[in-house]
Amino acid sequence: MLALTGCASFPGNEVAETSIPSMARYEQRPSVYVDFNFYRGDAGDGQAVEMPQARDMLKPQLESVLRDSGLFSRYTLDPFQKQPGDYTLKLAVYNGGSEGAAMVSGMISGLTLMIIPATAKDEYSMTLQVLDSDDKPVSMAQNHDSIRTWMGLVFIPMMAYTPADAVSDSFRRQLNALLKQMVERDALKYAQGQLLLRG
């Protein structure tokens, strides 16, 4: 669905651009294992369905944010590479948009040969839970963004994104905001010198 032609997507920009505080002054930074999942459904809904393809599509964006943040001495997305002493970041994205409405909207647009534009709205909730090296919860945060996609537009406004770019941009802004909150809440411990203290 992310490669449809004749589509224009508009992020809701409910999460503003965020600058992550620099941790460059710390000689010792924590290492983390990031447990990342993507679901169709609402946050907290036990019936939410995992979407591995969507998760894999966003993994390069996730690694880019983690690498560029400078927050960690080491990070991994592979549970088999988790080491003793690592924090765990449980990151989850939930798409609570109406799949049925998007399908019907797309069908109407298709049946009218794209004369009648169709629209669909995706609602994205992102949660970030931090667990210490003993797997005890340290902090939990959540935010929300949305993306409106128009199908069958003859004129595509200059400010529009492709659907894939809109999802990537929204993901980056949401993740940066949660990482900033994590740092401001002292969920991870940073130290000068050779000893890294953990809470």
User: What tens digit of pLDDT does each residue of 163-187 get?
Assistant: 888 899 999 999 999 999 999 999 9
- Whether 142 shows a pLDDT value over 70: the answer reads yes
The total number of structural domains in the chain stands at: 1
What is the pLDDT, as a whole number, of residue 154?
53
The CATH number assigned to the domain holding 106 equals 3.30.160
What is the pLDDT, as a whole number, of residue 109?
37
Could you tell me if residue 191 is inside a domain?
no
Could you tell me if residue 3 is inside a domain?
no
Mean pLDDT of 81-110: 71
pTM of the model: 0.83
Domain span holding position 47: 29-184
- Residues shown for the chain: 199
Could you tell me if residue 4 is inside a domain?
no
What is the pLDDT, as a whole number, of residue 120?
80
Could you tell me if residue 190 is inside a domain?
no
Could you tell me if residue 157 is inside a domain?
yes
Distances (CA, A) of 156 to 5, 7, 21, 153: 11, 8, 36, 6
What is the pLDDT, as a whole number, of residue 152?
65
In this structure, what token pair is assigned to residue 171?
């993901």
Could you tell me if residue 33 is inside a domain?
yes
> Is the CB of residue 85 less than 8 Å from the CB of residue 76?
no
Q: What is the C-alpha to C-alpha distance for residues 116 and 113, in angstroms, rounded to an integer?
A: 8
pLDDT tens digits, 143-165: 999 988 877 655 455 556 788 88
Mean pLDDT of 126-150: 94
Could you tell me if residue 24 is inside a domain?
no
